[in-house]
Amino acid sequence: MNGAVSRQCQGLGPLSPIPDPRSPTSLDDLLRHPGLWRAREQGGAALRPGLPTGFASLDRCLPGAGWPLQGLVEILTDRNGIGELSLLMPVLARLCGGEHEDGWLAWISPPHQPYAPALAACGIDLRRVLVIRGQAAEWAMEQALRSGACSAVLGWAVCRDRQSLRRLQLAAEQSRCLAVLFRRLRDGSEPSPAVLRIALDGDRDGLEVRILKSRGGHAVSVRLGWASFATRAIAQ
C-alpha cells in the first residue's frame, strides 16, 4: 500500500510551467493549474447546492435544494405571465438586490417591457438591471453568460437548433450564474442539454410546476397555490 502511494507521488512531476514570479498573477490563476485537483469542483451538478427558490415544496423536488447555478434552466410555458417570473422573483431579489452582491441581472429580448417600479418593489436593485433587445437573442445571451458580469440572465430566445442550445448550456456551465431560458411548451418534447427543465401550467387555484428533466433528480410535479405567492408578496 505504502509502495503504491509513493510510486504515485513520484509519478506526479513538479507543477509546470512554473509561473513567472515577475508576471502579475493572482491566486485564481494559480488555482486554474491543470495539475491541481480541487475536491469541490468534482462530481455532478447534483452535489452542488442550488439557490433556494423560496418555495419549500419546490426546493424539496430539486436535487440541489434550489435553482442550479451551473447550467441552463429551461422554463416552458405557453402563456406569458402565468407566474414564471413570480417563481423567480425571490431568487432574483436575492442575487441582484442585496447590498453585498454586485451581480447584474440581464433581460434578453423580453416579450414585454420589464416594469421598473415592480422590480424595485420586489427588491431588485435597478442600477444593476440590463435590458437587451435585438435580433441575435441567443448570441446576446451567450455573451452575457460568458462575460461573467451577470449573476442572473433571463432569455427569451427561440433556439431552433440544438447547437445553439448546446452553446448556451456550455456558457451557462462555465459561468456562475442563474441562466434561465424561456421557451414554449411544445419544445418540451425535443431533447435539450439543459440541467433543469420545468413546464408551467396554471388555473384559478394555483401553478402546476412539472419538472420534465432534472440532472441528478427526478421528474416530478409540484403544485404551488397562488396563496404561497401572495404571502411572499406581502413579506417583500
Phi, psi angles (nearest 5°) of residue 35: -75, -10
Q: Is the dihedral of CA 105, 225, 69, 50 positive or negative?
A: positive
Helix H or strand E encompassing 207: strand 206-214
Omega before residue 17 within 30° of 0, cis: yes
DSSP annotation string for 155-197: E-----SHHHHHHHHHHHHHS-SEEEEEE-GGGGGS----SEE
CB of residue 21 to other proteins, shortest distance in Å:
13
Nearer to other proteins, 151 or 214 (CB): 151
What minimum distance in Å lies between the beta carbon of 6 and other proteins? 34
Nearer to other proteins, 96 or 211 (CB): 96
Task: Please report how close the Cβ of residue 175 comes to other proteins at its closest, in angstroms.
Answer: 10
Taking the complex as a whole, the smallest distance from the CB of residue 15 to other proteins amounts, in Å, to 18
For binding to other proteins (CB under 8 A), which residues are involved?
24-29, 79-86, 89, 102-104, 110-123, 125-136, 139-140, 143-144, 147-151, 201-207, 226, 233
Beta carbon of residue 193, minimum distance to other proteins (angstroms, whole number) = 24
Bridge partners (DSSP) listed for residue 75: 182, 198
Nearer to other proteins, 165 or 224 (CB): 224
Closest CA to 184 of 75, 80, 76: 76
CA dist 151 and 102 (Å) reads 8
Give min distance, CB of 41 to other proteins, in A: 14
Cell 404551488 belongs to residue:
224
User: Whose Cβ is closer to other proteins: residue 5's or residue 39's?
Assistant: 39
Largest Cα span, the chain: 69
Nearest to 227 by CA among 83, 26, 128: 83
In the bound state with other proteins, the residue whose beta carbon lies nearer, of 45 and 150, is 150
* Residue closer to other proteins, measured from CB, 29 or 161: 29
Between 3 and 24, name the residue whose CB sits nearer to other proteins.
24
Strand 206-214 relative to strand 221-225: parallel, antiparallel, unpaired? antiparallel
Shortest spacing between CB 62 and other proteins, in angstroms: 21
